[in-house]
Amino acid sequence: MLICRTNDVCRKDVILLNEIRLPAHRPVRDVLEGPRVRLEPVMRSRHLHDLFVTGHEGEAGKRVWDWLGYGPFVDEAAMGEWLDQCSTAADPLFFAIVDRSDNRAKGMCSFLRIAPEQGTIEIGHIWFSPVLQKTASATEGLFLLMDEAMSVLGYRRLEWKCNAENHASREAALRLGFTFEGIFRQHLVVKGRNRDTAWFSILDSEWPTRRDALLAWLAPENFDSGGRQKRSLERSRCSGA
C-alpha cells in the first residue's frame, strides 16, 4: 500500500492504523471445494481408514511423517485416537484432503497459530500420501486453504514454517509464492532432535498476483491429455498470468 503525506513524500512501508481492517475472521469447520479435491474438516469415522492406509503403506508412506512431530502410528486405533484430538481442536484446525476422483482421503493440512486480532494465520501440519505428492491435486488443496485465509477470511499475513533441513517443504513454499524470511536457530526440539525453523510469508498486498498465477497454473488448459503441465507455476507467476 502506498500512502502519500501532505509534503508529497511517499513511503511504501507506512500503513496507517485506520487502513488496516481488523480483526480478520476466524476459520470454521466448512468444506472447501475445488475441481480436483475437497478439504473436509477431519473426522475419525469418515477419514481414518483412508488416512492410515495411505500414510503407512510401504516405506514411502511412512516417510511422510519424517518431518512432523507425530507419526507414524503403530496401528489404526492409535491414529484414530490422534484424529479424535484433531477433530475437536480449533487451533490447529485440521482438514483431510479428499480426492474427488475416488472420494478417498489422501493427506491432511491445517490452519494454525490463528490470530484474527493481528490478521495473521499459518498453514501447516501438511502431509501428502505418495500418490498425492507432486500432483495438481496437492497444489489445489493448498491453494484452497491459502485462498480461504486471504480472500475470504481477510488475513493480512499468511505464514509457512518448516524444519530448515526439509528442503522439499522449503521448495514448495517458494513455488507457491511465499517469501523466505529467515531461520530461527534452535527453535524447537522435535522427536528428540533439534529443529531450526525456516520462515516464509505471503502478505495481503502480494496475494492477488500469487492467486492469479495459481489459478492460471491450475486451469485445465494448462495440462495436456496425459495430465502433464504445459507451463510451470513459476513461469505463470513471472509472466503475471
In this structure, what is the dihedral angle of CA atoms 145, 150, 153, 159, given to the nearest 10 degrees?
70
Q: Could you give the number of structural domains in the chain?
A: 1
pLDDT digits (tens, 9 = 90+) for 63-81: 999 999 999 999 999 999 9
Residue 75 lies in a domain: yes
CA distances from 114 to 27, 123, 132, 155 (A): 8, 9, 26, 10
By CB atoms closer than 10 A (0-12, 13-18, 19+), residue 154 is: middle
Residue 15 lies in a domain: no
Query: Average pLDDT, whole number, for the chain?
Result: 92
The predicted model scores a pTM of 0.90
String of DSSP letters for 179-218 = EEEEEEEEEEEETTEEEEEEEEEEETTTHHHHHHHHHHHH
Q: What is the CATH number of the domain that holds 197?
A: 3.40.630.30
Residue 6 placed within a domain:
no
Question: What is the span of the domain harbouring residue 207?
Answer: 27-238
Residue at 133 is within a domain: yes
> Quick check: is 135 in a domain?
yes
What are the tens digits of pLDDT across the range 4-26?
333 444 444 555 555 788 999 99
Domain membership flag for residue 118: yes
